[in-house]
Each structure stands twice: as structure tokens, then as C-alpha cells.
Amino acid sequence: MTPRDTLAATIVVVAWGVNFVAVKVGVTQLPPLLFSALRFAIVALAVVPFVKPPRDRLGLILLLALVLGVGHFGVLFIGMRGLDAATAAISLQLCVPFAAVVAAVVYGERLGGLGIAGMVVAFLGVALLAGEPHRPDLASLGLVLFSAIAWAWSLVVIKRIGPIDPLLLNGWMALFAVPAFLLLSLAFETGQLDALRHADRLAWEAVAFSAVITSLIAHTLWYRLVARLPLNQVVPFTLLSPVIGVASGVVLLGEPLGWHKLLGGVLTVLGVAIVQFRPRNRPTEVEDAAPPVAES
């Protein structure tokens, strides 16, 4: 990797890590589904007017908007309202073990003893988080885990879509996700207009950061790196994302950092690393269809 590549990879993982704080700030002041609609609306406005619609794959992109947009991001943002950013950043890394399970179910990928061991270690880490003294809301934690499962299944849809410009994919997925989020917000949330009127500058900066820095810039940089470099050079950087997420939550939001969270985080990241870097029976797997570590 050149110094420029290293800088780009660092920008990506820092953006993904800090984004947990941005989302936490945003959903504290704005209803989570409304926050999601605003984020995806910015992405759609920034991309869709400048790219041609992929007409032959619009149905699959609509499905991706429901699975990844609503099922992952929407549910995650709801869950984050009841969790601190650090706990969410660690727990969400179970996306990788879940993706390994999906690969085994759908494509016959063998987990192997090492993959199973990594999953056990990762789940033990999250179990430690659930039992820490500052005990997280278990319903919210369950929503984050559900969003991780949705992320894993979204890889199957991405694989079916096939080769496509990631910026185009993000833009059209966002366009389809916006009306879904608005309808769900009208159905299940209240006080949207009051929230919009009373949201302070930090809330709007959180929306902008999540949309522009994380969705547009970080994802574009990531896919360019993946397209040019071997995965074993760029993937290790992604393991820094939950570390940065935890550090950002502690430093920027003053979240507590006890031994449960430290040990749980170490175990989760270790388990994810084992699953991600285990020997696999094919050079290209469903787990490689998207960033191997989830972001918010």
C-alpha cells in the first residue's frame, strides 16, 4: 500500500468509527426512522441526478433498500437510541459471524472449526457487554443484533445484483429507502415536526456527517481500495473501526468504560478477526461482497 492508500483506509475506518457517535447524537434528538430518512435523502440527492438508473436491476436494488436500508440501518438506529455508541460499535461487529453463517446456509461455505471458534469468542464478547454494570437495554441490544443479521442477508442481495458502481448502488438504494422510512416514521413515530424544529446544530451536523462523510466519501474510498488492492491488505484496517467507535463514545460523549466493555470489545474483535481471516474454500465469498465490517 502506498502512503496515499494508507491515508484513505485510515479515513474510512475513522469515519465509520466516529459515525457511531454521530448517529447516537442524531437519534437522541430526532426520531430514528426520521433520522434515517434524512440521511438517505441527502445521499440520494447527491448521487441520483448524476447517474443513469440501472433499469435491469431496479427490483433487486429495491429489495436491498428494504433489507439493508430499513432492516439494517433503520433497526440499528432505533436500537442505538437505547444503547451507548461504544456498545453499539462492538455489538454490530457480529455482522461478520452472521455473514459466515449466511454463506454456509446459502452457498454451502464450510465454517470449519476455526470459524466456529471465532463465532463463539465473538458472541462471548457481546455477552460480556450485556452483563456489564452499566447494563445496556436488552431490547435495544437485540435490535442491534437483528440489524447485524439483516446486514449479513443483504450481502446475498448485493451478490445477486452483480458488478455495479458502488456510488450508483448507494444512491438508488437511498432513493428507494427514503419513502419507506417516511411511511414507517409516520406509522410508528410521533413528534417529528417538533423534533425538526427543536433539533440543534449538533443534530444536523450528525445527519450531514452520517450522509456525506460516512455514506458518500468513506464508502467511495473503501470500494476504490478494494478494487485496486488485495483484500488481505485493506481488510485489517476495518478491525480498527469498533476501537475508534468505543474511543469516540468515551471521549466525545463521556460514556463509561469498564472492564466488561474492554474485555467484551477485545473478545468480539478477536472473534471477528478469526472468522474473517480463517482459511476459506473459495477465493470469493458472500462475505466479500461488501465491507467485511459493518458501519452505522
Whether 294 is covered by a domain: the verdict is no
- Alpha-carbon span 148 to 146, nearest angstrom: 5
pLDDT of amino acid 134:
64
Specify if 236 maps to a domain.
Answer: yes
Distance CA 46, CA 171 (A): 8
Task: Give 92-138 as a DSSP string.
Answer: GGGHHHHHHHHHHHHH----HHHHHHHHHHHHHHHHHHHTSSSPPPH
Q: What angle do CA 106, 272, 79 make, to 5 degrees?
A: 85
Amino acid at 50: F
Q: Are the C-beta atoms of 295 and 214 separated by less than 8 Å?
A: yes
Query: pLDDT by residue (tens digit) across 57-71?
Result: 999 999 999 999 999
C-alpha 95/C-alpha 168 separation (Å) is 24
Query: pLDDT tens-digit profile of 197-241?
Result: 999 999 999 999 999 999 999 988 888 887 777 766 777 787 888
Nearest Cα to Cα of residue 293 among 245, 249, 239 = 239
* The predicted structure's pLDDT at residue 292: 43
Q: Which grid coordinates are listed for 153?
A: 442477508
Confidence class for position 296, pLDDT limits 50, 70, 90: low
Average pLDDT score, the chain = 87
Per-residue confidence (pLDDT) for residue 226, from 0 to 100: 77
Mean pLDDT check: name the lowest of 8-12, 77-81, 205-209.
Answer: 8-12
Work out how many domains the chain is built from and give that number.
1
Q: How confident is the model at residue 293 (pLDDT cuts 50, 70, 90)?
A: very low
3-state secondary structure of 281: coil
Q: Is residue 193 part of a domain?
A: yes
156 lies in some domain: yes
If one compares 112 and 232, the residue with the highest pLDDT of the two is 112
Domain span at 284: 3-288
Nearest to 61 by CA among 186, 185, 167: 167
Distance CA 245, CA 80 (A): 13
Grid coordinates standing for 63? 429489495
pLDDT score at 257: 81
Q: What is the pLDDT of residues 261-272, one digit of tens each?
A: 888 888 888 888
Global pTM value: 0.88
What tens digit of pLDDT does each residue of 123-178 get?
888 888 776 656 678 899 999 999 999 998 998 898 888 888 888 999 999 999 99
Asked if residues 167 and 52 have their Cβ atoms less than 8 Å apart, the reply is no
How many other CB atoms sit within 10 Å of the CB of residue 266? Answer: 15
Residue 147 lies in a domain: yes
- Opening angle at CA 21, ends 17 and 23, nearest 5: 105
In angstroms, the Cα distances linking 141 to 38, 124, 292 are: 24, 14, 21
| Residue 293 maps to a domain | no
